Chains A and B, each alone.
Chain A
């Protein structure tokens, strides 16, 4: 499913909102999550999961073309940890043959 398909799906369930409103709402939700992480924060969605940052230690990388050593600084990367409900439902679907 892509973002535009998600927007259509939600719009078909939310009869009180127009497609345009759903589109703006989806964009706002994703922007809010992004902004929160970009400020070093966390996002906790009960039943779904949490987004946080994981630290990557500084390391020596290599230029794949030349083989030269390149020092890489430490950095943060976005991380998602599925919540219990999502974990269980997804795993249960495996035994249902999906």
Chain B
């Protein structure tokens, strides 16, 4: 199965909700842009049922170049983490169970 992309989301908004192609494309762009903008301002995004995008500040820690084995510190950084919500988790769980039955 090929991956779902912004183009397909926009197409679906057009066919399912009747948004113009232009509005549908803008809608998809704005959706991800707003979430990104919020995270950039260090604000968590909570989408009930779907999940939360959280921010974590990581301290510098020792690392290694996997190819050469050379030790290089991994600098302090801020990262985005995603915690799936209950509904998303249970929908995916159903897939896990279906897979397990196939095996």
Binding site for B on A (CB under 8 A): 1-3, 6, 9-10, 13-14, 16-17, 21-22, 24-26, 28-30, 32-51, 53, 73-80, 82, 85-87, 89-94, 98
Contacts and interface: CB of A to CB of B under 8 A. Distances in A.
Contacts of B1: 39-42
Given A3-B46, A34-B87, A94-B77, A26 B41 contact: no
Contacts of A17: 19, 23, 27
Contact of A75 (B8, B45, B79, B93): B93
Given A29-B31, A46-B5, A90-B39, 17 more contacts: A6-B35, A6-B38, A16-B20, A17-B27, A21-B17, A28-B12, A28-B16, A29-B9, A33-B4, A45-B6, A48-B36, A50-B3, A77-B89, A77-B92, A78-B51, A90-B78, A91-B79
